[in-house]
Structure 1
Amino acid sequence: MFKKMSLTMLAASMLVLPNFSSSSYAAEAPVTIDSGILKNNRVLIPLRAVSENLGADVDWNQQQKTIRITKDATEMVLTLNSNKVLLNQSEILLDVPAELNYNSTYVPARFVSQTLGADVNWNQKTGQATITLEGKQLQVTMQKPQVQVPNAKKITDKQRQVFVNKLNEATDLSSIKQIRTYFSPYFTDKFINEIIRSKGLKYDFKFTTIYPSAISYTETNSAKLTQSSGPNSKYAPNETLYRTAKLVYTSKGWKIDSVDFSLVKEVLNP
């Protein structure tokens, strides 16, 4: 039977944002992550950031919806949407469970970081958490509040699918004769010039999975369309390819203005 420890005795002092301990050293240039979330006075960070930047190993169990994080002699098991955590076989309760945001699993930065032996400093003025471990420094900036866009202006599911299809077609331009004319309703002139110059997109992978949260609005006239390669792609199971298309609102509606790719070594999360 697992031991049960109270949040007050073990974890409360590790989770509250004010009075964070200051980082004592940082031998390497800090890594910046701009996708932190502030919720119920807690900082949540993408689980992948924990694995890559704090030197921990992460395993995702699709069937049980559990995430196992190990580093040296420390092992913790978190369950998606649950506030129960097993820390070296002892059960503790968190007031902020592991949860799914923007197609990534998020965990409490304070608890996970300090459990792995890191120092965490919270800057109230800048809204930034700095995590330091063994000379590595991770700076987590909170995402801006979601932009409110009128319903009539929002990208519809049909439009979103069309943009995905056109981006997939842009992986190979050899069969398209009038490239500028063909893509003009969907891409800006700047982006069309880029794909003509590079003879297509950087990766020829065709994305099919579209999560409900794939579209996010950064400003009233700009948005992002984010997709991942998925668990059955040629990159799985050790890598995931992310494609982020930046869209701008023009006089002729929404158009794709640029595309960025990121190939990440990780255990794929839902």
Structure 2
Amino acid sequence: MLPVNFKRAVAFSPSLDPSIEQNEYMDLDSPAQIIEGSTYVPLRFISQSLGASITWDHLSKQATITLNDKRVKVSMEQPAFEIPSSQKLTVASLKLLSDKLNEVDTISSIKNINTHFKPYFTNSLIQSIIKNKGLQDTGQFEAPIAAVYYTSKPKASVMQSLLLGNGMTGEDTYVTDRISHFVYTDGVWKVDKVSFASRSIPNLGY
């Protein structure tokens, strides 16, 4: 199963950039991401697709977009908080928590749900799983490939995507996104809430 990493996009005609052909598939220089329901795409790709030029000032952390006689400066948002390196979610921790969420699919075979998930999930999530006999959606999601989004000092979230298959016409692929919300409590990260979203993406043929 290939992960959905949004590394390709379609530049639809008409485009102000004469180098872009009609409805041309283009590789992005960095993947798009969905954060809390909003899709973020690379600024360079959007700017150049519209025929604008873009430069980056590393010292000021500022991008300058120029189109005809108009110029726009975009500053990189500075976080209002810093997460100590020792408290950040590691790749190993993300994989472990992801695997534990996958285990909820086999909840009927787990004898003591509270004891089994207590080191990894908050009590509120465990009680929700018991009440609803599982999560809202099912599926074996691979370890996250997207960057962790720290929403505040004790909270973070990450999205995983699962390819479900092609649509009736074969032009689209159905995808389920699992967004895991974490809290840092008692010196460890635990899953506090899980939400799901369904969407479709163009079938790129690979």
Instruction: Tell me which interval the TM-score lies in, with the shorter structure as reference length.
Output: 0.5 to 0.7
Output the amino acid matched with 1:68. V
Output the amino acid matched with 2:95. Q
Correspondences of 1:171-182 after superposition (within 5 Å): 171-182=105-116
> How far 1:194 sits from its partner (Å)?
0.8
Say if 1:214 and 1:169 are closer, same or farther in 2 by CA, change over 3 A.
farther
Does residue 100 (structure 1) correspond to residue 34 (structure 2)? The answer is: no
Any conservation in 1 of the 2:155–2:184 contact (CA below 8 Å)? yes
Q: d(CA) in 2 for partners of 1:256 and 1:172?
A: 18
> How far 1:219 sits from its partner (Å)?
0.8
Does residue 239 (structure 1) correspond to residue 170 (structure 2)? The answer is: no
Counterpart in 2 of 1:217? 150
Counterpart in 1 of 2:118? 184
Say if 1:67 and 1:252 are closer, same or farther in 2 by CA, change over 3 A.
closer
Structure 2: gaps (5+ residues): 1-5, 52-74, 167-171
Say if 1:149 and 1:105 are closer, same or farther in 2 by CA, change over 3 A.
closer
Output the amino acid matched with 1:222. K
Correspondences of 1:137-216 after superposition (within 5 Å): 145-146=78-79, 147-211=81-145, 213-216=146-149
Counterpart in 2 of 1:226? 159
Match of 1:251 among 180, 186, 189: 186
For normalisation by structure 2, the TM-score amounts to 0.64
> How far 1:266 sits from its partner (Å)?
1.7
Output the amino acid matched with 1:155. L
Any conservation in 1 of the 2:102–2:140 contact (CA below 8 Å)? yes
> How far 1:170 sits from its partner (Å)?
1.2
Any conservation in 1 of the 2:164–2:176 contact (CA below 8 Å)? no
Correspondences of 1:76-87 after superposition (within 5 Å): 76=15, 85-86=19-20
For normalisation by structure 1, the TM-score amounts to 0.50
Correspondences of 1:24-103 after superposition (within 5 Å): 67-70=9-12, 74-76=13-15, 85-86=19-20, 99-102=30-33
Any conservation in 1 of the 2:83–2:153 contact (CA below 8 Å)? yes
Any conservation in 1 of the 2:182–2:191 contact (CA below 8 Å)? yes
Match of 1:261 among 193, 196, 203: 196
SS in 1 for 2:144: coil
Q: d(CA) in 1 for partners of 2:195 and 2:132?
A: 14
Structure 1: gaps (5+ residues): 1-61, 79-83, 90-96, 116-141
Q: d(CA) in 1 for partners of 2:199 and 2:127?
A: 27
Give the number of aligned pairs. Answer: 161
Output the amino acid matched with 1:240. V
How much identity, in percent, do the aligned residues show? 25
Higher relative contact order (CA 8 A, sep 6+): 1
Output the amino acid matched with 1:267. P
Q: d(CA) in 1 for partners of 2:102 and 2:16?
A: 37
Say if 1:228 and 1:76 are closer, same or farther in 2 by CA, change over 3 A.
farther
Any conservation in 2 of the 1:224–1:244 contact (CA below 8 Å)? yes
Coordinate RMSD, CA, aligned:
3.6
